[in-house]
Amino acid sequence: MLDIKLIRTHFDEVKSKLETRGVNGEELDRLKELDENRRELIQKSEQLKKERNDVSDQIAQKKRNKENADDAIASMKKVGSEIKAIDNQLEDIEEQVKGIASGLPNLPHPSLPIGEDEESNEEIRRWGEVPEFAFEPKPHWDLGTDLNILDFERGAKVARSRFVYYRGLGARLERAIYNFMLDTHISEHGYEELIPPYLANDEALFGTGQFPKFKEDVFQVDGHPLTLIPTSEVPLTNFFKDEILDEKDLPKYFTALSPSFRSEAGSAGRDTRGLIRLHQFNKVEMVKFSKPEESYDELEKMTNNAEAILQKLGLPYRVVLLSTGDTGFAAAKTYDLEVWIPAQNTYREISSCSNTEAFQARRAMIRYRKEDGKIDYVHTLNGSGLAVGRTVAAIIENYQQEDGSIKIPDVLVPYMGGVTEIR
RNA sequence: GGAGAAUUGUCCGAGUGGCUUAAGGAGCACGCUUGGAAAGCGUGUAUACGGGCAACCGUAUCGAGGGUUCGAAUCCCUCAUUCUCCUCCA
């Protein structure tokens, strides 16, 4: 959610910035009109309430003195119904204001390249050597199926398409990877580990920005006001929902492993094979709560934390700064980490690190008290560190050998009980 | 799932329709006192929204949302959470 006062005072600036993100300017004109209307009604209503409070005191006084107060009571009866009428109108307008305001994306940070989509994204840096194979590299779904460590057919049989079973050393590899990731973040990067709820209520999903606009992307539990989390960003960020933190407790870092559930409505036909786009996948998430003035430093550090995982795993990747049009709803600035996928001869997203500034904090009411006693919204950041399934895919493909076996990256060998390859 | 009790400010806690602008206490901050500290005394101590350059003023908030009333922390309804007992369960 954007600051309504900012929209009020810097209207044209906000409007043109949001237009770079594909927002229709007319919506903002309407919002401005509603906001003015709203403030007028608030003043009317509050003035009448003051009158009612004052006269009620007088009535109480008279009653105590055993005097007659019928006239005052009669006139307050009228004021009461006036207040009710105005408040009803106000409620209606506030609903409309919230309807528009909660659907507006965050303002883009000035450093973003301006553009409609991923075509305008800017590559920041590359790391690692893209492997040269003396043979035709196979896609991970063929390698995984042949090695009997991934079973997509049975996943589809028991659930539906886009679900998978990991088997044997495949399951162990997944577990090795996420344990390695969590251990690295908690012991080298200063994060506190959480195991969060995997279902969240509507308020939490509103807080991080999935609701009300992106309901079709998630799985909701029939008969319960709960949704399967599409990312543990939801329970991690909402951990401090409605709380006022102390400045000395900032920055605060959380990490968690969780499954993520996504309906993938609208992605029919894309990545239909393999581990890249499933309805359920494991992800190690990083979330930070930061003072506003430090949040962009924290974003760089968080991105580096995610990169450290790829580097230790020896997976080549590049860092991409998303354009205004490609940046997600809640984010002011996002770096994507894209890992090399040999069989597709391209880089594919494996992490996304964002600073949402106060956008989520305002929705979830996460604030902090400064040294001087003043209260302000924190900045929240989130990033994948990393998507575990896609990491498995990247390892299978980048570490494949001519005979179809997979070499295990050195850092994972201890987590694999000494296993150095899968064959 | 069934029965009962509870939810008040930073914390504890009083408060069954109007002298409650939420008593009292603790904590915290500042001041007085002191050689210094403790004790004592005094003052202050929430959040949101609206108005105002500001000082400040107004409105709302006693778990949440509705309702009754001129007026609700207080009465009524719905819901959430916590605790106790039963049931079930890993």
Protein-covered nucleotides on strand B (Cβ within 7 A): 18-19, 46-51, 58-60, 69-71
pLDDT digits (tens, 9 = 90+) for A207-224: 999 998 898 899 998 888
Two tokens, residue A300: 């760089």
User: Which pLDDT band, with edges at 50, 70 and 90, does A66 fall under?
Assistant: confident
pTM attached to this predicted model: 0.93
Show the 3-state SS of A204-234: HHHHHCCCCCCHHHCCECCCCCEEECCCCHH
Q: DSSP code of A257?
A: E
DSSP H helices, A274-366, are: 295-313, 359-364
pLDDT for the residue A316: 98
Residue with tokens 């303002």: A107
Interatomic CA distance for residues A250 and A190, integer angstroms: 12
pLDDT for the residue A354: 98
Q: DSSP code of A89?
A: H
Q: Kindly tell me if the per-residue pLDDT of A363 is higher than 90.
A: yes
A375 Cβ within 7 A of any nucleic strand B atom = yes
pLDDT for the residue A6: 92
A182 Cβ within 7 A of any nucleic strand B atom = no
The angle that helices A25-64 and A70-101 make with each other, rounded to 10 degrees, is 160
**A30 is a catalytic site residue:** no
Question: Which run of H or of E encompasses A12?
Answer: helix A11-19
- A155-159's contacts with Cβ under 8 Å and 24+ in sequence apart are A159/A279, A159/A280
Which residues make beta-bridge pairs with A103? Answer: none
- The answer to whether the bond into A235 is cis (omega within 30° of 0) is no
Q: Kindly tell me if the per-residue pLDDT of A38 is higher than 90.
A: yes
Interatomic CA distance for residues A294 and A51, integer angstroms: 47
pLDDT digits (tens, 9 = 90+) for A133-180: 999 999 999 999 999 999 999 999 999 999 999 999 999 999 999 999
* Among candidate residues A296, A397, A411, the one with its CA nearest the CA of residue A350: A397
In Å, what is the separation between the CA of A51 and the C1' of B22?
22
A414 phi, psi to nearest 5 deg:
-60, -35
* Among A262, A348, A363, A367, the one annotated catalytic: A262
Interatomic CA distance for residues A369 and A376, integer angstroms: 7
Question: Which residue has the closest alpha carbon to B51 C1'?
Answer: A43
- Whole-number percent of chain A with pLDDT over 90: 83
Sign of the torsion angle spanned by Cα atoms A154, A158, A162, A164:
negative
Two tokens, residue A346: 């391209």
Q: What is the mean pLDDT of residues A400-408?
A: 97
A370 Cβ within 7 A of any nucleic strand B atom = no
pLDDT digits (tens, 9 = 90+) for A244-286: 888 888 899 999 999 999 999 888 888 889 999 999 999 999 9
pLDDT digits (tens, 9 = 90+) for A96-134: 999 999 999 999 999 999 998 999 999 999 999 999 999
Interatomic CA distance for residues A376 and A3, integer angstroms: 12
**A390 is a catalytic site residue:** yes
pLDDT for the residue A40: 93
Q: Kindly tell me if the per-residue pLDDT of A319 is higher than 90.
A: yes
Collapsed DSSP state (helix, strand, coil) of residue A7: helix
In Å, what is the separation between the CA of A391 and the C1' of B87?
46
A73: nearest nucleotide, CA–C1' criterion: B70
pLDDT for the residue A154: 96
In Å, what is the separation between the CA of A94 and the C1' of B53?
29
Q: Is A349 annotated as a binding residue?
A: yes
pLDDT for the residue A404: 96
Residues 6+ apart with CB under 8 A from A353: A286, A299, A302, A303, A306, A334, A335, A336, A337, A381, A382, A383, A384
Sign of the torsion angle spanned by Cα atoms A404, A410, A414, A420:
positive
A92 Cβ within 7 A of any nucleic strand B atom = no
In Å, what is the separation between the CA of A355 and the C1' of B60?
33
pLDDT digits (tens, 9 = 90+) for A176-201: 999 999 999 999 999 999 999 999 99
- A23-29's contacts with Cβ under 8 Å and 24+ in sequence apart are A23/A104, A23/A105, A27/A100, A27/A103, A27/A104, A28/A100, A28/A104
A9 Cβ within 7 A of any nucleic strand B atom = no
Cβ-based contacts (< 7 Å) between A 203-262 and strand B: 244
Q: Kindly tell me if the per-residue pLDDT of A420 is higher than 90.
A: yes
Q: Kindly tell me if the per-residue pLDDT of A71 is higher than 90.
A: no
User: Which pLDDT band, with edges at 50, 70 and 90, does A414 fall under?
Assistant: very high
Question: Which residue has the closest alpha carbon to B49 C1'?
Answer: A42
**A262 is a catalytic site residue:** yes
Q: Is A232 annotated as a binding residue?
A: yes
